[in-house]
Structure 1
Amino acid sequence: MSEILNPAKMNRKKKMIIIAGLVAVILCVLINQLWAYIGLVVILLLFLLNLHVFNKNRFWACNINNLNVIGRNYDTLVIGEPISKETISLDNNKYIFITCPGRSMGASIILAYRLFSLLHSGGTLILAYHKAGEKISSLDIPYIHDVTLFEKNIKRKKEYFPLFLNPIQSLKLVMGVTHHHAKATKNVNKLEDFCKSREIKLLTYKV
């Protein structure tokens, strides 16, 4: 089972965080200096912001198999960079966005192979990208299968520190940065063949 869904491991992590917090508070009291209290506040704020980014980013990943939360049979699935629905003319279709600032084309393709089943037959998969590379960030990890992470030698534990590993992406996620301009571009052949075999229409946009 993926570590992200393992309650025992999550409980241990929570206990360790609480203990570390108590130790930090005790040290501040013992030192009893202004800089120590300021440092503690800064660390606490960074920790809370990191936790917010972590939870916000992994929401869909945690509920991907929960039909009551995420559902199925969407008309349109958008993966990649955040892009406004007006830009890609979604109108009143049933759609779902699983996007993140700075998501590379390579990471988006991996997610597409994992999430295409959210669409009904005849649905549309939209990839929106700015960077055409293969980089997988800490914000992509919650959506990627353990086998894929192992093949790419990526540690799952990196997903717990998005603010520190990918600060710009994390801050854009918190601020809700969305692209309002996009240009249709050529589809990736391999993914296009994959979609055609499943009666899914593929559209690719560069933002």
Structure 2
Amino acid sequence: MPTRICVFCGSSQGTDPAFTEAARQMGQALAQQEIGLVYGGGSIGLMGTLADAALEAGGEVTGIIPEALSSAEVAHGQLSALQVVPDMHIRKARMASLADGFIALPGGIGTFEELFEVWTWAQLGYHSKPIALLNVAGFYDPLLEFLNHTLNQGFIRPGCRDLLQVHTEIETLLAQLLPAALAASPNLASNKI
């Protein structure tokens, strides 16, 4: 089974063209390194850009989309595999079970929720898969400032904070993430998701 990385990102493009370019470059980079992409299954926004770039570069792309969102997010019809599932809970669990690691690009509430859920699962020991943010054009700076505040206030332990990698360059992110992803196969007993 090939190594697969789950990428969380927006169903909108956002206001900065750098977000779209980062999604395009991420899709290309994963395909070029023969890393399968798992994502939310949409054809619009950063999700669509990411998937299209990976497909154009010859990559394997698996989309997971809930029935209720298959129209709203315009389910991508050209993927290697598209799974339509009953709800968001199953979507997130399925994406997590298929992936060997996680990356968050810019996005909104759904992206945040997906990121924080897999990070929480890592904190609780449900998996040992690596998690990273690609901080495009400073998008995540305010969140990182808040996370540091939360750490300083005693609500996040330093070890938990260290579970979330933060990078500004795709090459550096993948160089750090992929070795850990290879070591954290979903088939390992320690990975319960």
TM-score by length of 2: 0.30
**TM-score calculated relative to the size of structure 1:** 0.29
Query: Could you say which structure has the higher helix fraction?
Result: 1
Q: Who wins on radius of gyration, i.e. which is larger?
A: 1
